[in-house]
Amino acid sequence: MCGICGVFEFGANQRPVEETTLIRMRDTMTHRGPDDAGTYISPDGRVGLGHRRLSIVDLSPAGRQPMSNEDGSVWITFNGEIYNHARLRVDLERKGHTYRSRTDTETLVHLYEEEGADFVRLLEGMFAIGLWDARKGELLLVRDRIGIKPLYYAVLPGTILFGSEIKAILAHPRVSRRIDLAAFYHYLTFIAAPAPRTLFQGIHKIPPATRVTIDRKGAIRAETYWDPLDAPPEEGARYEDEEYSAARVRDLLGRAIEKRMMADVPFGVFLSGGLDSSANVALMARLMNRPVRTFSVGFKDHPSYNEFHYARKVAALFSTDHHEVEIGSRDLLDFMPDLIFHQDEPIADWVCVPLHYVARLARQTGTIVVQVGEGSDEQFFGYDHYVRFYRNQARYFRRLMKLPRAVRRAAYEGARGLAFLLHRGGDRLDLLRSAAREETFFWGGAIAWREEEKRRLLSLDARLRIDGLNSHDVVLEIDRQAMKRLQDDDFGKRMIYLELRNRLAELLLMRVDKITMASSVEARVPFLDHALVEFTMRLPTDLKIRGGRTKYLLKKAMTGLLPEEIIHRPKQGFGAPVKEWLRGELYGEAFSAVMHSRLRQENLLDYDHVERLFLAHRASSRDHSWHLWTLYNLSRWYDHWIAREAA
């Protein structure tokens, strides 16, 4: 895992890339690559590439980046891991390509020479790539299929900048810092900015499975090179056969874990004791002749959030080398400045806090690579609310949509008034709202502020400036892409497709990347091996939640490998006691940070309404922890990244 950055000067009045600027951009990401660093500037000064290296495969100086082909016409800076690079290398050497290292980076360069931009279709792994083709005069930027690795870029007059982190782009002296109002509006709903926007105006994130080509005149072309619903069915696959599909899932997951054990440094697993992380441990243990290193995190003052009992049971069963850390509210407060720094833009998921401490624990033991369980819940219907949405769509939403729109609107307005009086809402109100407004029923697994809630939150001035925006448009565009590709009317597949394209890529995977890399730890995600994703996307949803049980198929796949107590334990989820902290130790800090933030100068929020939310939450009359954490992250981000620079 590494940090990459670059500058492409394409303007008529082009200025040569300054090495001091390139190094400054690169070294904002030293945490991503503390082991080595390199730069390349083209002979004509038009292109500069930077790289920070976290050495994992081929630890020798031969693995230094940026790296070129034999004649220096192709240069690359690369972040990630290519798990099939050894197989690709055999064919490339047969074709006459000469290697100087054992790295996967060198395989990328030679594969590009053979395949052009389509080389990405042959890769198995996670990656963010910046590649300069001097012969064509083109810069190629690529993000992996699922979006495990981040990649950002900015367009200035005559200049393109890119980086693994936004802070690398911000280090360029010509980049200004202003809040992007559309990204801000959507962040309030999705608790992360959907691609291609970021909270910084003019800085874009490359969506998953996208390659961006910039030619010598600065023309930009973006293309999607993969979609899980476009993959052809496996030959001979029996997707509706429960026994076959469970065995196939177990086989594909085992292969994914084995591929992700490729490393010349120590590796391990983050273990909560839930089904996903326990499956990672069980399948890895079968492949190793030494104990698996496992790491768990818990909470000192809130034992109901702890999963140590289950983690210890799994650790004992597989004789792992187990490590634990406990944290409290003081640890959250100590970590907040670093959290804001490493996130670059707000990711309002409080899992970032325990994730930081368990990643730091891993690094303290000398563990450089970990496998994590992200992606399992989304593919296998691991949340109860997924099941509720899926069933409510079939039982109620379709029937409601057959009623006249006036009737649907009247039903919603009546229910909304009653919900306001009773301080209740829930799934049924969401259902009526979507039917009345003819919106997509499912918006995602982590929705903070709905549209009417945002209208109460925003100032009058902000509502006028943002008039016309609706976060449903983000959902609708992704849902249309799913319906265009689906061969059946399985609403569950549409739900999972939306999660893969938005919440998973821009929230869950970004929290994993940014927070683990803050401790110079590489996280690998076996459940998101693209072969496994392609297989699970073809499975009927009823096979995943048979009998209303979440993760039915995955549980069946793990039967005989894990104890029944682990397979069928109630889902707890990897969380943090932020609701309680915001009523106690964290209340004063969060209230002050939000109410006295320089974000107020933007005149975006109704701070009287915000204060009422704080008071209601502290009084325990309502649980506003999700809303308040969103605003707390936003305010701290603004003060660090926008206001401080302006000052």
pLDDT band at 221 (very low <50, low <70, confident <90, very high): very high
Res 576 pLDDT > 70:
yes
Task: Give the pLDDT confidence of 300-354 residue by residue, as tens digits.
Answer: 888 888 999 999 999 999 999 999 999 998 999 999 999 999 999 999 999 999 9
Q: How far is CA 234 from CA 121, 124, 138, 419, 539, in A?
A: 17, 17, 36, 48, 12
Identity of the amino acid at 580: E
Give the pLDDT of residue 388: 92
- β-bridge pairing 36-41 and 47-53: antiparallel
Q: Strand ranges (DSSP E) for 54-197? A: 67-68, 74-82, 125-133, 138-143, 152-156, 159-163
Q: Tens of pLDDT along 275-288? A: 999 999 999 999 99
Per DSSP, 443 falls in state -
Domains of the chain: 2-224 (3.60.20.10), 384-489 (no CATH), 578-646 (no CATH)
Does 542 have pLDDT greater than 90?
Answer: yes
Cα–Cα distance, 531 to 260 (Å, whole number): 14
Could you tell me the two tokens for 310? Answer: 């289950």
For 271-319, the DSSP string reads --SSHHHHHHHHHHHTT-SSPPEEEEEEESS-GGG--HHHHHHHHHHTT
Highest mean pLDDT among 63-67, 112-116, 427-431: 112-116
Section 452-477 average pLDDT = 94
Q: Determine the Cα–Cα distance for residues 455 and 470; give it in Å rounded to an integer.
A: 11
* pLDDT single digits (tens) 235-288: 999 999 999 999 999 999 999 999 999 888 889 999 999 999 999 999 999 999
Q: What is the mean pLDDT of residues 78-91?
A: 96
| pLDDT(540) > 70 | yes
Q: Roughly what angle, to the nearest 10 degrees, separates helices 607-618 and 587-595?
A: 170
Residue 422: its pLDDT value, please?
A: 46
Q: Average pLDDT of 114-118?
A: 97
- pLDDT of the residue at 554: 98
Write out the DSSP string of 206-220. Answer: PPTTEEEEE-TT--E
pLDDT average, residue stretch 477-489? 93
CA separation (Å) from 490 to 390, 530, 543, 554?
9, 21, 12, 19
Separation between Cα atoms, residue 412 and residue 393, nearest integer Å: 16
Residue 1: band (very low, low, confident or very high) from pLDDT cuts 50, 70, 90: low
Is residue 503 very low, low, confident or very high in pLDDT (cuts 50, 70, 90)? very high
Two tokens at 384? Answer: 């109860």
Which of 54, 56, 39 has its CA nearest to residue 5? 39
- The residue assigned the tokens 């409601």 is 400
Which tokens is 39 given? Answer: 């730069």
| pLDDT at residue 421 is higher than 50 | no
Q: What confidence tier does 634 reach under pLDDT thresholds 50, 70, 90?
A: very high
Global confidence as pTM: 0.95
How does residue 416 score in pLDDT terms, banded at 50, 70 and 90? confident
Residue 417 has pLDDT above 80, yes or no: no
Task: Tell me the pLDDT of the chain averaged across its residues.
Answer: 94
What's the token pair of residue 54? 């976290």
Burial class (CB in 10 A: 0-12, 13-18, 19+), 647: exposed
Check residue 462 and give its pLDDT: 97
